[in-house]
Chains A and B, each alone.
Chain A
Amino acid sequence: MDVPRLAGIAFDVLSLSSILVLLVLGMGIIVSMMGIFNLAHGELVLLGAFTVYLAHKVGLGVGLGIVLAPIVVGAAGLLLERSVVRHFYSRPISALLATWAVGMMIRESVRAGLHGRSEVVVAPFSGTFAIGNVYLSQWRVAIVLLTVAVIAASYLLLQRTRVGLQVRATLDNASLARASGIATGRVYALTFAFGSALAGLAGALIVPLFALYADLGVTFLVRSFLAVMVGGVGSFEGPILGAGAVGLGSGVLPWVVAPVLADALVFVIAIALMRFMPNGLVHRG
């Protein structure tokens, strides 16, 4: 295999991993802190994509739509947490069902809004540029760079700010956080809104790559779930590494075996990893 082709594959892996990182960062932090899997996470991604579509339709432009998406979806996440999720923190199975139901309502509402069709949303800028003999999609490069910026900003927020310390303390020991004067209910709500905003941003960034259709979020939900489990719950780095691992498998394997078999292999490898590393790649003991 020649160098440009290898570089192309490496970039595809990086690009796919970046998308997965954006998708799982919010999901991972919610799972780690609240102990629940938000099955509406995929639909929050869809809502981000739909926000960009609506912004484009009403003439605000795709660029402004991408800025608005995390704000709109963050607010929706806050509403979801306050009205539904907070009642189920001690009942994770009920939380799964409740968020699944909410996700279905969002998905079907979007399907109705799209009249069952799929819509193309064009990226604010498109085309390719060349590095030597390797041609890279400008939008995919933008996604990679934005992902790096989001990871860095999230890390700094968690490590260097008062709110971040409250979040980490609550994540570590919610009962003791309350005994230290931290209003954990508010921390949960803000964290859920933040995780939702990241999902919304992910949806806004990926919609130019995949088009907008009602099942867009579902497509990524299973892989995101897998990435969180592979990476490990309870740390900031875990879901990122998990997304990298799943992205690597999903990006490389189709070049080696038939795409259908590659998809199955990713799941087999992930399940094997979870069997032998049940706490994930990063375990905070």
Chain B
Amino acid sequence: MKQSEGSTSHGRDDRVLDVRGLCTRYGTSQVLFNVDLHVPSHGSVAVLGRNGAGKTTLLKSIVGEVKPFRGAVAVRGRECTAAHTEQLVRLGLGYVPQDQAVFGGLTVAENLRVGAMGAPRGSGTMDQVLAMFPKLGRRLSQRAATLSGGERKMLAIGRALLSDPALLLLDEPTEGVWIAVVEEIAERLIALAQTRSVLLVEQHVDLALRVADYAYVLERGHIVLHGPSDEIRHHPDLYRYLAP
């Protein structure tokens, strides 16, 4: 476990995502400072931090929604810092944003069909998604805007899965979800993390550390702590960094 920025224990050849020295700003306000982060090909990683720490900006910088002014992002060994979001999807990234993660005006079935359009390998099927989230199967012809918060999150994850991503980036997948549904989503995420790489940003620390086997803690745009989840969970400074 490291107390400051630096490389992780993952081997460089075994990385699906490699972020090096990432610096991002909005106007004159810098949000991320030399962030190094790696996700192994078979593993899941959590990013923790209090509100405003830069977690969402980190994901947006990775997927090309926000352009970093310094640093590099490589997906499966390919440098793609300047790539467009849609190109990254075709390289194998699946992204579930924090807000407006579904197409509200489209039906559930149409949302899933849009997700399948980005499939580079074409092996993600709607049947698999509906088996994972059976509730969606009963709502296929319903407009996504009429779904509950939990169902929307499920749909958003299902949409991203249909592109069969090598790495799934999830930004607060349980935010705004009824507490009884949080556990249901958590179970699906744990199952998902067994089949593909996951980079998870999550406010529920316990949930995030259950899903991920490695974690980073962001504070004011700096990585202040990283290490295996079991060690991070018991780190004496963890809640100092996360306390509001």
Binding site for B on A (CB under 8 A): 162, 165-166, 168-169, 171-173, 175-185, 284-285
Could you tell me which residues of chain B, from 104 to 137, have a CB within 8 Å of some CB in chain A? 104-106, 110, 113-115, 117-119
Chain B interface extent, by class: 20 to 34
Q: Which stretch from B18-26, B83-91, B188-196, B232-240 is at the chain A interface?
A: B83-91
> Given known contacts A166-B117, A169-B114, is B106 in contact with A178 (CB within 8 Å)?
no
User: Which among A165, A185, A285 is the interface contact of B114 at CB below 8 angstroms?
Assistant: A165
List, sorted by A's number, 26 A–B pairs whose CB atoms are closer than 8 Å. Answer: A165-B110, A166-B114, A168-B110, A169-B103, A171-B105, A172-B104, A175-B85, A176-B101, A176-B102, A178-B84, A178-B85, A178-B86, A178-B89, A179-B97, A179-B160, A180-B86, A180-B89, A180-B118, A180-B160, A181-B117, A181-B118, A181-B119, A182-B114, A184-B86, A284-B105, A285-B145
Distance between Cα atoms of A34 and B110 in the complex (Å): 21
B 14-57 to A, binary, CB cutoff 8 A, 1 in contact else 0: 00000000000000000000000000000000000000000000
Distance between Cα atoms of A182 and B105 in the complex (Å): 17
Interface membership of B214, Cβ < 8 A = no
Could you list 13 further interchain pairs (A-B, Cβ under 8 angstroms) beyond the known A165-B117, A182-B118?
A165-B110, A171-B105, A172-B105, A172-B106, A173-B104, A180-B86, A180-B115, A180-B118, A180-B163, A181-B86, A181-B117, A181-B119, A182-B114
User: Which among A180, A184, A185 is the interface contact of B117 at CB below 8 angstroms?
Assistant: A180
User: Which among A169, A172, A181 is the interface contact of B89 at CB below 8 angstroms?
Assistant: A181
Contact A176 B100, beta carbon cutoff 8 Å:
yes
Interface centre among A166, A178, A183, A184, by most chain B C-beta atoms within 10 angstroms, is A178
Distance between Cα atoms of A162 and B110 in the complex (Å): 10
Which residues on the A side are within 8 Å of B101 (C-beta)?
A: 176
Which residues on the B side are within 8 Å of A173 (C-beta)?
A: 100, 103-104
Interface membership of B65, Cβ < 8 A = yes
Contact B100 A181, beta carbon cutoff 8 Å:
no
Which residues on the B side are within 8 Å of A168 (C-beta)?
A: 103, 105-106, 110
Contact B86 A162, beta carbon cutoff 8 Å:
no
Distance between Cα atoms of A106 and B84 in the complex (Å): 34
Least distance between B16 CB and chain A CB atoms (Å): 17
Contact A183 B86, beta carbon cutoff 8 Å:
yes
Which residues on the B side are within 8 Å of A184 (C-beta)?
A: 86
* 4 nearest A-B residue pairs (beta carbon): A181-B118, A181-B89, A178-B85, A172-B103
> Given known contacts A168-B105, A184-B86, is B114 in contact with A179 (CB within 8 Å)?
no
Distance between Cα atoms of A175 and B89 in the complex (Å): 13
Interface membership of B63, Cβ < 8 A = yes
> Given known contacts A176-B100, A182-B118, A184-B86, is B106 in contact with A169 (CB within 8 Å)?
yes
